[in-house]
Amino acid sequence: MPSEVRVPIASLADIVAARQRGRELAAQMGFSSFNLTLIATAIAEVGRNIVDFAERGEMTISMIKNGTRQGVQIVATDQGPGIADISTAMRDGYSSANGLGIGLPGARRIMDEFEITSEVGKGTTVTMKKWEA
């Protein structure tokens, strides 16, 4: 398996594919099955946000290194409507739709690093990392 995969996201099937790719890449790096589930969950949540709010976008899942530490990085990007107030969007229970509003804050909690940038009318990028051991 290559050390980086790009998955276009426009449907539920694409989210399933991205989750699977992420799981495979992280499994190859030796992540525990518990962590594989967390990584797959975070991928599914940001993927679902792309489909729900931006219609389409893409995810790049890569193996990263920091000295001797290995990790997995997920970059989810779209050119949808963007988010006007990121701190509100990151709050537990906030949803502009009919969601539970736990996708973004949940993903932040289960990954080691989480960054979101967004510009109204331009789009949104979420970058998440999980380090091994």
Ligand X SMILES: Nc1ncnc2c1ncn2[C@@H]1O[C@H](COP(=O)(O)OP(=O)(O)OP(=O)(O)O)[C@@H](O)[C@H]1O
Binding site for ligand X (CB under 6 A): 45, 49-50, 52-54, 78, 80-83, 89, 94-97, 99-105, 124
17 or 102: CB nearest ligand X: 102
CB atoms near residue 68 (< 10 Å): 5
Residues 34-93 that bind Mg ion (CB under 5 A): 49
Backbone angles phi, psi at 58, to 5 degrees: -150, 160
1 or 100: CB nearest ligand X: 100
22 binds, among ligand X, Mg ion, none (CB under 5 to 8 A by kind): none
Find out whether 131 and 70 touch, Cβ atoms under 8 Å. Answer: yes
Contacts within 8 Å (CB) and 24+ apart, 119-122: 119/82, 120/81, 120/82, 120/83, 120/84, 121/81, 121/82, 122/79, 122/82
**Residues 89, 103, 118, 124: which binds Mg ion (CB under 5 A)?**
103
Least CB distance from residue 83 to ligand X, whole Å? 5
Q: Which residue has its beta carbon closest to ligand X?
A: 99
Least CB distance from residue 7 to ligand X, whole Å? 15
Residues sharing a CB contact under 8 Å with residue 109, sequence separation 6 or more, in sequence order = none
